[in-house]
Chains A and B, each alone.
Chain A
């Protein structure tokens, strides 16, 4: 069985601060994908990034960066110079093959509040 743990339930920062959201996963599969999604108050989950289990290169996209550490089963997400618009719930998710379709296992989410 798969499991994703986001230990931080809520984080509050002041605008322009850097913030890191933690994600720890568990799976016996050797081939898997990790994802981050953002859920603003409107409700729609917005896809941010996908990483596969064979690629441990860190990635940077603008103010966003991701640190994938297979040795610690972690896939952490850092927002640099946070902005009020970053306020949302962020979900980490794990995907392994289930039948012929992909099954996503989500963490419980981290509510990020960026204060002006």
Chain B
């Protein structure tokens, strides 16, 4: 596997279900991100993990719960979602340097989530 992979690619779930999205990066990066992309809206940053510690959560509802067990894996646990949570969820990774060097983020293909 190369780059950033996400599973599943498509997910349909009811409002009472619990599911998890998985992201894995094979680039040796130390920062990972979850974004939400809804129709007609800019990408919204949900969570940032740098060196496996969460540094931003941007006021995301608690029904979304991230987990980053190591620098290569990122999960997004979902429970009691609402229909308006239907969207494309994108994972990204980058090499983060506290010294101030900026690097681009590489994205996975996304998980298309439909909440019924």
Contact = CB atoms under 8 A, between A and B. Distances in A.
Chain A contact surface mostly: strand
Interface in B19-63: 31, 33, 40-43, 45, 48-51, 55-56
Contact of B55 (A31, A91, A101): A101
Interface in A57-116: 91, 95, 97-104, 106-109
Interface of A: 4, 31-33, 35, 37, 42-47, 50, 52, 91, 95, 97-104, 106-109
Contacts, number: 72
Contacts of B107: 37, 44-47
Interface of B: 31, 33, 40-43, 45, 48-51, 55-56, 88, 90, 92, 94, 96, 98, 100, 102-110, 112
A36 to B, nearest CB: 10
Contacts of B112: 43
A47 B92 CA distance: 11
Contacts of A109: 42
B45 A100 contact: no
A47 to B, nearest CB: 5
B26 to A, nearest CB: 14
Contact of B102 (A43, A47, A50, A91): A50
A31 B100 contact: yes
Contact of B42 (A99, A102, A107): A107
A108 B43 CA distance: 7
A49 to B, nearest CB: 9
Nearest to B50: A101
B48 A43 contact: no
Nearest to A45: B107
A100 B55 contact: yes
